[in-house]
Amino acid sequence: MVDLLEAVIRGLGRGSIYALLALGFVIIFKATRVISFAQPAFMLAGAVLVTFLVGPLGFWGALIAATLLTALLALGVERSAVRPMVGRPAFVVAIITLGVDIAVRVVVNAFLGINVRQVDDPWGLKTVELAGLRVEQRHIAVLLTTTVLVAGLFAYFRFTRMGLAMRAASYDQEAALAQGVSVGSVFAVSWAMAGGLAAVAGTFVAAGENVDGLMWRIALVALPVIILGGLDSLPGAVVGGLLVGVLQELAANYQAEYAPVWLGENVSIITPYVVMLLVLLVKPYGLFGTREVERV
């Protein structure tokens, strides 16, 4: 039992990171109907920025600064590479974001160099005893940070003028325009948000470890997450992310006991895709997706 609960908490920590990344994908998709493949680069950029800023600013200060800077970077990318392509087929724009991703990662990797860089988080691999469970502090930290961010996002979309405008534009762009909503600002804000969320995710991936140039691959797990959660659903991104994180940890924890040997030792890697497949068999538009959304 203790074993199971500990795995679940680890899973929630890992799932929080997926949720942050998936939220970025979904926010951009809702605004522009395009899947942006630039998320992995923003994630790496955020973590690398933290490694440079953590000295003068401390961890939280560096995290906030890196988040804002990455949001700014995303804003610049949107304005220069994506906005001019508005109106082109979604597939074309998606490929452009893929190019952006590679370009940004090349630059960021240059800053990363061959040195071992760390985000110097306060937790490392330290654990804490919670109701008889041994829990890594960094998992608690990312879970709490994600909770705060998600609550903030939901409040933003519910109560603020721009948040409401973004929701309206995602349902009917022309009608939103007719109310005086600037669709350009909607695009810009959604890219900035996605960039910031990816930066936070990247920093927490690196917490307790080094910044690895290959860590962007984790962002790819967000793809099955958003599809199983429903491409256009923010709650779907959160629930899907946490679900996949937990199932992955459970798979890693129990595969030695229960999985057949021929499956190898890394069942947890394919878990997200298996879950996605199973969900889509039952719910073709994902857990929370709406019907009209085009299929990828």
Q: Which residues are near another protein by CB under 8 A?
A: 161, 164-165, 167-168, 171-182
Cβ 211 to another protein shortest distance, Å: 40
Q: Which is nearer to another protein, 79 or 210 (CB)?
A: 79
Nearer to another protein, 56 or 87 (CB): 87
- Nearest distance from C-beta of residue 188 to another protein, angstroms: 14
Nearer of residues 80 and 290 to another protein, judged by Cβ = 290
Q: Which is nearer to another protein, 140 or 162 (CB)?
A: 162
130 backbone dihedrals φ, ψ, rounded to 5°: -125, 115
Contacts of 26 (CB under 8 A, 6+ apart): 226, 229, 231, 232, 233, 234, 236, 237
Look up residue 79 and give its DSSP letter.
I
Cβ atoms of 250 and 8 within 8 Å: the answer is yes
Query: If DSSP codes are grouped into helix, strand and coil, which group holds residue 136?
Result: strand
CB 138 within 8 A of CB 121: yes
Q: Cα–Cα distance between 15 and 55 in angstroms, integer?
A: 28
**Least distance between another protein and beta carbon 83 (Å):** 14
Alpha carbons 200 and 284: distance in angstroms, whole number: 31
- The nearest distance, CB 282 to another protein, in angstroms, is 23
Residue with smaller CB distance to another protein, 161 or 295 = 161
Token readout for 102 is 């590679």
Tell me how far, at minimum, the Cβ of 162 lies from another protein, in Å. Answer: 9
Name the residue nearer to another protein (CB basis): 47 or 169: 169
For residue 28, give the amino acid letter: I
By C-alpha distance, which of 43, 6, 71 is closest to 222?
Answer: 43
For the bound state, the minimum distance from the C-beta of residue 176 to another protein, rounded and expressed in Å, comes to 7
